[in-house]
């Protein structure tokens, strides 16, 4: 009996110990978005979401964005409770709403950049001694906003630590010198996806992205890396973000079906992914869908009716750790708010900068479930890590030990650029994970590999592996929700050689057509040798009449042959120095990402001389025509050459600025097009007047009509007005 009582007492003691709240919970402030401190940290969170027309406010994502805001508040409250981290120093914060819109985010950013303790933003040439309102900024949540604010914040060298922006372009420290993040770059996500495809032998896939910064860059990087690893991308498409996506999505799905692929990589934000899978469900399509981190665990997609019919979803999610105190903290916070609620008057106008969530004053314990969502539970760790990195970097910067700090921010100047240098060297152990930044500001960990398992109407996210530089996955833990036990998405041996051969033969055709078209241009222009007739009859009129037959016959032939010979020599030299057609075709890297490969134009010197000869002929022809003056009432021999030369020159002059602004495919099309148009214009302008004369005035088709000029009839001077 005594033993039983002892066990009961022990259980009671252990139970009370486990359920006891930390002592610092009693100091929680009910203010969700601002808190004073010796040093302030700024926060940018998607508390509300605006529609694309910026006129209508939607609160569909308010729980997610607000949960991340509360994660920052929780992190700072916990740091302030640890006396050995920043002893004697309190960290405060100011959190603002981005509305997920570039047009909106600038206002809070400018507020965070104002001079310390003021509402003014100084304009100066040197910000070394400038102390802004905050020492660092946590955010933003996605890649769309960073290009808008990253360069501006980088100019002040204020650390900008994102918990969700994954685009690899932000690794460029020359453009974004102060940007850092606690989630891996998309470059590593692409590496992970490609390794996953290779592990299962899938080399015939499609890739779909959202039509924004995140989706476009991710799709481009994946396509490029897939090609390097001999994975053929049968089709790639973009889901519209700011317009009705239904028609575009249906076209994408049609192309995926036509390509007969079994695996589709979806590199998209959550809203476009939702729109995409709505149409997938309508069509009852099944396959393997590889999910990027942006929608991998998002309830906008996982709660769609009929989502369990789409097949197998393999997803990548940022490595995370549970924060055991976060949910109890939120429960305590909402309890305190519930007891201090002050109803807001209907006509009260409060700036979004002061209160980005007017409805949040009504939060209560009934709303605690908002932070228990799987996506929130996995995302808050990224915010938590960002805040703790700032705290540990300040610990080093201020020269702190367990009892005091050498520098006091109340009396000593502490600048953001100093914190940035400390952050680059910081190393933090959080929940059993060591975290540090590399030289590009990227984190030192990777992804969990997860599978969606469907349980009636709910989705379970089960971990099947992990990735950090290399993929580790347990295939035995995968449950295939497709017709075949293991999905095959292969480019068959029968198809691949045929596609490759056809592809290479069509390059061959293009090369031959290009060289033929260049030679045709030269040949049609040496036909412009009528210029030499003009020189003869204008400069030597007394001899031209007797030599007319020679000028028209053998003389023209010699000039044509001479010009053709020069041009043939230039063309031959260009072809000799250019890469061998056989070698070029053999070295082609066949990719199914691009539908067009442009032939190399090299060497440029030879190519320039070849075209330069054309230019010389055109200019000389054009200028020489002004040597001849029109006899009264007679045929103007030079007029037709003037117009044809002028049309040729004008077309090629217009071509130069147009050509430089086009992509590779359109450049080749434009080059062929201008070649044809200029030659057609040349021939038409020269021969059409003669044809008109022969058809409408055949009586003038006599030697006398054309010899008058040669016999020295003086031109009539222009009439005076």
**DSSP 3-state of 133:** coil
CA angle 645, 650, 651 (to 5 degrees): 100
Look up tokens 């997609």; give the residue. 301
Task: List Cα–Cα distances, 391 to 28, 387, 419, 435, in angstroms.
Answer: 19, 6, 10, 13
CA distance 312 to 314: 7
The neighbour count for residue 84, using CB atoms within 10 Å, is 10
Q: Are strands 179-181 and 160-162 parallel, antiparallel or unpaired?
A: parallel
Q: Which two tokens stand for residue 213?
A: 């910064």
Which residue in 64, 35, 34 sits closest to 47, CA to CA? 64
**List of residues 6+ apart from 311 with CB closer than 8 A:** 285, 286, 287, 288, 289, 481, 482
**DSSP 3-state of 403:** coil
Overall pTM > 0.95: no
Task: List Cα–Cα distances, 152 to 105, 147, 404, 508, in angstroms.
Answer: 12, 9, 35, 49
Are residues 490 and 202 in contact, defined by beta-carbon separation less than 8 angstroms? Answer: yes
CA distance 326 to 370: 12
CA distance 374 to 198: 29
Residue 494 has phi, psi (to 5 degrees) of -70, -35
**Full set of structural domains in the chain with CATH:** 32-183+323-340+352-436 (3.40.50.2300), 186-292+446-477 (3.40.50.2300), 499-711 (no CATH)
Q: Are strands 232-239 and 287-291 parallel, antiparallel or unpaired?
A: unpaired
The neighbour count for residue 108, using CB atoms within 10 Å, is 25
Which residue in 320, 317, 313, 318 sits closest to 478, CA to CA? 313
CA distance 314 to 633: 85
pLDDT of residue 553: 59
Which residue in 156, 182, 622, 127 sits closest to 438, CA to CA? 182
Q: Please give the full DSSP string across 135-167, using - where no structure is assigned.
A: SEEE--SSTTTHHHHHHHHHHTT--EEESS---
pLDDT of residue 14: 40
The contacts found for 462-471 with CB under 8 angstroms, 24 or more apart, are: 464/314, 466/319, 467/188, 467/191, 467/192, 467/195, 467/316, 468/319, 469/188, 469/191, 470/195, 471/192, 471/195, 471/196, 471/199
Which residue in 592, 594, 603, 578 sits closest to 511, CA to CA? 578
Residue 269 has phi, psi (to 5 degrees) of -70, 170
Residue 535 has phi, psi (to 5 degrees) of -60, -45
Residue 2 has phi, psi (to 5 degrees) of -65, -40
Q: Is the omega angle on the peptide bond into residue 193 within 30 degrees of 0, that is, cis? A: no
Look up tokens 């044509």; give the residue. 560
The whole-number mean pLDDT for each consecutive block of 10 residues of the chain, a chain of 721 residues, reads 45 45 91 94 86 37 83 97 95 93 90 89 87 96 91 95 92 95 93 94 93 89 89 91 91 92 93 95 94 91 92 92 94 88 56 76 88 88 97 97 93 95 95 91 92 87 91 89 61 44 40 44 48 57 58 66 79 75 60 54 76 75 65 60 77 83 78 82 81 83 61 47 44
Q: Please give the full DSSP string across 318-351, using - where no structure is assigned.
A: E-----TTHHHHHHHHHHHHHHT--PPPTT----
pLDDT of residue 555: 65
pLDDT of residue 573: 81
CA distance 20 to 696: 109
pLDDT of residue 344: 54
Axis crossing angle, helix 326-339 with helix 62-81, rounded to the nearest 10: 100
pLDDT of residue 429: 93
CA distance 555 to 689: 24
pLDDT of residue 654: 85
Q: Which two tokens stand for residue 547?
A: 């030599």
């Amino acid at each position: 009996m005594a033993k039983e009582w002892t066990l009961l007492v022990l259980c009671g003691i252990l139970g009370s110990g486990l359920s006891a709240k930390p002592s610092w919970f009693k100091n929680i402030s009910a203010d969700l978005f601002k808190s004073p401190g010796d040093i302030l940290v700024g926060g940018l969170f998607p508390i509300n979401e605006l529609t694309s027309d910026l006129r209508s406010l939607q609160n569909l994502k308010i729980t997610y964005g607000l949960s991340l805001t509360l994660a920052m508040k929780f992190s700072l409250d916990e740091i302030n409770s640890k006396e050995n981290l920043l002893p004697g120093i309190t960290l405060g914060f100011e959190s603002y709403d981005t509305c997920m819109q570039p047009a909106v985010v600038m206002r809070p950013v400018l507020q965070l950049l104002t001079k310390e303790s003021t509402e003014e933003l100084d304009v100066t040439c040197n910000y070394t001694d400038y102390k802004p309102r905050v020492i660092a900024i946590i955010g933003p949540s996605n890649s769309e906003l960073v290009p808008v604010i990253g360069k501006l914040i980088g100019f002040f060298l204020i650390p900008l630590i994102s918990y969700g922006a994954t685009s690899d372009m932000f690794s460029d420290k020359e453009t974004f010198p102060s940007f850092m993040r606690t989630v891996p770059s998309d470059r590593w996500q692409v590496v992970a996806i490609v390794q996953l495809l290779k592990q299962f032998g899938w080399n015939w896939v499609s890739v779909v992205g959202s039509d924004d910064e995140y989706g476009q860059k991710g799709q481009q990087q994946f396509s490029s890396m897939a090609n390097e690893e001999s994975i053929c991308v049968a089709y790639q498409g973009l889901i519209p973000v700011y317009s009705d996506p239904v028609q575009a999505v249906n076209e994408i799905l049609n192309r995926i079906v036509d390509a007969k692929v079994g695996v589709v990589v979806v590199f998209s934000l959550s809203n476009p992914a939702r729109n995409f899978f709505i149409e997938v469900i309508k069509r009852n399509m099944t396959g393997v869908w590889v999910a990027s981190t942006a929608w991998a665990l998002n309830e906008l997609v996982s709660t769609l009716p009929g989502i369990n019919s789409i097949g197998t979803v393999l997803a990548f999610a940022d490595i995370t750790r549970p924060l055991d105190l976060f949910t109890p903290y939120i429960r305590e916070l909402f309890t305190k708010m519930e007891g201090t609620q002050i109803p807001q008057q209907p006509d009260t106008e409060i700036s979004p900068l002061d209160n980005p969530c007017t409805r949040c004053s009504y939060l209560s314990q009934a709303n605690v479930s908002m932070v228990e969502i799987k996506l929130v539970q996995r995302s808050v760790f990224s915010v938590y890590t960002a805040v703790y990195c700032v705290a540990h970097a300040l610990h080093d910067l201020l020269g702190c030990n367990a009892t005091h700090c050498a520098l006091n921010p109340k009396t000593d100047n502490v600048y953001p650029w100093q914190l940035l240098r400390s952050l680059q060297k910081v190393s933090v152990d959080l929940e059993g994970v060591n975290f540090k930044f590399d030289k590009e500001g990227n984190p030192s960990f990777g992804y969990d590999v997860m599978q969606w398992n469907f349980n009636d109407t709910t989705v379970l996210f089960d971990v099947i592996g992990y990735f950090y530089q290399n993929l580790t996955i347990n295939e035995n833990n995968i449950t295939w929700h497709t017709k075949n036990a293991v999905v095959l998405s292969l480019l068959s041996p029968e198809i691949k050689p045929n596609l490759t051969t056809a592809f290479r033969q069509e390059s061959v055709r293009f090369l031959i057509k290009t060289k033929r078209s260049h030679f045709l241009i030269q040949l049609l222009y040496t036909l412009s040798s009528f210029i030499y007739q003009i020189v003869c009859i204008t400069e030597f009129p007394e001899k031209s009449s007797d030599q007319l037959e020679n000028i028209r016959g053998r003389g023209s032939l010699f000039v044509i042959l001479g010009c053709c010979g020069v041009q043939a020599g230039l063309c031959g030299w260009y072809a000799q120095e250019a890469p061998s057609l056989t070698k070029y075709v053999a070295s082609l890297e066949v990719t199914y990402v691009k539908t067009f490969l442009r032939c190399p134009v090299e060497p440029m010197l030879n190519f320039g001389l070849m075209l330069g000869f054309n230019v010389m002929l055109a200019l000389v022809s054009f200028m020489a025509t002004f040597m001849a003056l029109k006899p009264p009432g007679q045929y103007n021999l030079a007029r037709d050459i003037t117009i044809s030369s002028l049309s040729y020159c004008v077309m090629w002059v217009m071509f130069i600025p147009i050509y430089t602004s086009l992509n590779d495919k359109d450049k080749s099309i434009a080059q062929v097009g201008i070649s044809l148009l200029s030659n057609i214009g040349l021939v038409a302008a020269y021969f059409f007047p003669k044809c008109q004369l022969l058809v409408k005035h055949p009586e003038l088709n006599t030697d006398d009509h054309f010899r008058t000029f040669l016999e020295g009839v003086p031109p009539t001077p222009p009439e005076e007005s």
